[in-house]
Amino acid sequence: MAFLAKAQKVDLLSLAAEVGLDVSPNLCNLELIKLIQSSADYEQETFKDILKAVTSTRIQKEKEEREFVTRKPREDRELAAKKDKRREKRRKKRENLWLKREKD
């Protein structure tokens, strides 16, 4: 029971879904725990392993989302800098051509 009490609600909901329980997100943690424990298939070690897997999957997904959120603006800035550099290079090339024509 202690491992269930320490779990976050989102993980309890995922655990319940994984083991085939039909639950409402409106249930409080204690009601979710009671529902999970009253499952006909409830075996503490099995459910503990499933909960660990669910939790680690959620944590990994959150980590990837945070990395994306921080990486995306950086990539956008780098892309904008590359575009500016190319634009400046084209401008200088046009300017040099214009100066060359003016000399001739």
Q: So what's the pLDDT on residue 72?
A: 83
Which residue ranges make up each domain of the chain? 7-102
19-67 pLDDT, tens digit per residue, is 999 999 999 999 999 999 999 889 999 999 999 999 999 999 999 999 8
Stated pTM of the model: 0.64
Contacts for 63-68 with beta carbons within 8 Å, 24 or more apart?
none
Q: So what's the pLDDT on residue 29?
A: 94
Of all residues in the chain, the percent with pLDDT exceeding 70 is 98
Categorize the per-residue pLDDT at 103 as very low, low, confident or very high, splitting at 50, 70 and 90. confident
**Lowest-confidence range among 5-9, 28-32, 74-78?**
74-78
Cβ–Cβ < 8 Å for 54, 15: yes
Neighbours of 15 (CB within 10 A): 24
Residue 92 predicted with pLDDT over 70: yes
Q: So what's the pLDDT on residue 1?
A: 67
Helices (H) and strands (E) in the chain, counts: 4, 0
Q: So what's the pLDDT on residue 12?
A: 95
